[in-house]
Amino acid sequence: QVPLVESGGGSVQAGGSLRLPCAASGYVLNYYCLAWFRQAPGKEREGIASTGGDGSTVYAESGKGRVIVSRDNVKGSMALQMDNLKPEDSGVYYCAAAPGWVPSLRPRDYSIWGQGTQVTVSS
């Protein structure tokens, strides 16, 4: 298991920015696919961005041009930079990991999850 711990959530006004770090304590993530998911109240968990073991990335349409996912395999960390935030970006954000090279935005592809961090965007 690769414990994951998110941070950086909070409240921000529409148009603002947030950076969400995720730390994988004590492990090197070279061979893991990593992703960020969001879950709003009453809605299913949805993929926002993913980076594969080879460094490739994939983004959901909702975040293209506004979010950037990054990873540091040596430090065992990843991050989600979100700009021009909108109220519909609000929710609990989770980082997730799974062995593999190909990025994926499907929750069922991931077996390792963080505890989540709340993001609230006000209009």
Mean pLDDT, the chain cut into blocks of 10 residues (123 residues total):
86 98 81 95 96 93 94 92 97 94 95 95 96
Supply 46's token pair: 């949805």
Report the C-alpha gap between 81 and 113 in whole angstroms.
Answer: 19
Q: How many CA atoms, within 13 angstroms, populate the side-chain half-sphere of residue 10?
A: 11
Predicted confidence at residue 6, as pLDDT, reads: 94
Would you say 96 and 5 are in contact if contact means Cβ atoms under 8 Å apart?
no
Predicted confidence at residue 100, as pLDDT, reads: 87
Supply 88's token pair: 């519909």
Predicted confidence at residue 31, as pLDDT, reads: 86
Cα Rg of the chain (Å, integer): 13
